Amino acid sequence: MLDALVSGTTDPEVLADLARGKLRKKLPALKEALEGRFEGLHALLIGAILSHLDFLDEQIDRLSDAIEQQIVPLGLRWTRVSRGSRDLGLLLFMAGGGGAGRRVRAQRRLSL
């Protein structure tokens, strides 16, 4: 929805149809909220934020690859930790027994 707003889509019906999850239950209120309240400056600011998030996602991928190359020879495995649609980082744990406890503690530390 934000990408559509930034690219110039202003029709509240079209924008509301892009809603996902719990927001779909509130379509009438969403259509009303999207009525004429998003201007050029908003598009500029949101576009800059979305571009920065894309940059950060690329850096996470690049660093994740480098980390994987370093830990695999040590017998460690990794998996991504996500909250919603966003990666929070990497979760490391030992291959074999004993890793589950470390994984749970690491997940608690990363919880937002």
Each residue of 60-82: pLDDT tens digit?
Answer: 889 888 888 888 787 777 766 66
Give the pLDDT of residue 49. Answer: 97
93: pLDDT strictly greater than 60: no
Any alpha helices (H) in 1-112, and if so which ranges? 2-6, 12-16, 27-33, 40-71, 99-110
Average pLDDT, the chain: 78
Domain hosting residue 104, numbered range: 59-112
> Could you tell me if residue 84 is inside a domain?
yes
Residue 49 lies in a domain: no
What is the model's pTM?
0.63
Could you give the number of structural domains in the chain? 1
Provide the CA 104 distance to its chain's centre, in angstroms.
Answer: 21
Percent pLDDT > 70 in the chain is 69
In tens, the pLDDT along 30-67 reads 999 888 878 899 999 999 999 999 999 899 889 888 88
Residue 4 lies in a domain: no
Token reading at 48: 């800059």
Q: Which residues pair with 94 in a beta bridge?
A: 76
